[in-house]
Structure 1
């Protein structure tokens, strides 16, 4: 097994780069600063998308060094909802899907078109709110989108509350 570099979103203000060595040692490599709360990470080509759940933003980084895990913040956009918790990009590379958990408020999922540089265009967002509740009203009083996932030609949205 060769060394494997990976990134960890912590919900704090740092994305950690670590290495799992061929002899199964875990080594810290680099600390990348983020605006706030990078929990869900999605790498695509030379970009990393981070769902910043504490400030309802998506932060986009360039991946400058894949070996050391060095990133540079390139853009910060609104998640178009509250508490973003999951991201995915469709197979055509034209759409970024965002699951907004919603906290104590309403939940939604959002489709953001990507420009030629793979940066989401906020002004063309398609926002879909989900109404309803689950069978356990104390825990599922309203929708809570947990994950978005493109598979083949479909977008799947996993929801706690409905």
Structure 2
């Protein structure tokens, strides 16, 4: 009998693996050109093949996040003149269909980032030109309640880009007790304690960390081990590394996301870590149009530059690594395409597969598991 059960388990393993092979890829866009809103594709993470599934109309859904149960998609509507908002879509994992169900004000102009907390009961949204961020309660049916908005103040040394606050992202800590809010306009990562009951952010004991003046904090990510965090700085084209514990960041390194001999404009955008925690990637927009590749020292958390891969397109905004770690996909905003790279899990380096997804002004890429 023991051997029969072993045989059953061995036969089941390929089936289980096959079930986990396909993922939905959700694409957020700007709708100033060819795009109509959000798009859904299905990707085979063994082959890199993709197929179009569905779409949903929305105004400038430039950044997305998905509820923990993967039943709802939250998309900013990056508009101004008090029209900044967050739209809610129900997502059907059985067929990949999106259905619009709600919209709520974001509390400020040009919302550019949205994140759902670990409990799935709160959304945090960054208002770029509004210089603020908001937390919104999520109702039982996925809709959103009234926002609580925190307004930043201040400026920094670049009078054209940093004349006032420009909140660029809102990132929940791994334990859900804090929100980290990089502000490009004031060169700070603001830190707020977060009560998952009330949803009201309060300044943390360490209320902020200061970035290099004029470098413009943009996106922020935690290492899978929860003990390290990394910040990409848009204007300075660099990555700052920190140790993390209980809402506090301790600086450990500052490293360029560009080669030493690069002389053009620096314009970095996004940052992600491989699922195994061994490699970090950062995107650099025009004129470089590259993905910077770093190894992560497992003991110190420090980064070492490994290379710079062309994105095969213009203005790479966000990018993503698929849940299996096999592929890295880059959204080239101005060339209306998403380029699919194969990842070498041992070296971290990228190889162009030749596969493309044609999408108007793609910006944000998110994953949902197939049912």
Q: Which structure carries more relative contact order (alpha carbon 8 Å, separation 6+)?
A: 1
Unaligned segments of structure 2, at least 5 residues:
1-17, 187-371
1:67 is displaced (CA, Å) by 5.2
Retained in 2: the 8 A contact 1:6–1:69? no
Give the 5 Å matches for 1:1-162.
2-12=21-31, 13-21=36-44, 22-34=46-58, 36-44=59-67, 45=69, 46-54=71-79, 55-64=83-92, 66=93, 68-102=95-129, 106-122=130-146, 125-151=147-173, 152=175, 153-162=177-186
> How many matched pairs?
155
- In the TM superposition, structure 1's runs of 4+ consecutive aligned residues that sit over 3 Å from their partners are none
Calculate the TM-score normalised by the size of structure 1. Answer: 0.87
1:32 is displaced (CA, Å) by 1.8
RMSD over aligned CA atoms reads 1.7
1:30 is displaced (CA, Å) by 1.6
Q: Distance in 2 between matches of 1:27 and 1:134?
A: 45
Unaligned segments of structure 1, at least 5 residues:
none
Q: Distance in 1 between matches of 2:51 and 2:73?
A: 21
Retained in 1: the 8 A contact 2:103–2:144? no
Q: Distance in 1 between matches of 2:113 and 2:150?
A: 15
Calculate the TM-score normalised by the size of structure 2. Answer: 0.40
1:99 is displaced (CA, Å) by 0.5
1:115 is displaced (CA, Å) by 2.3
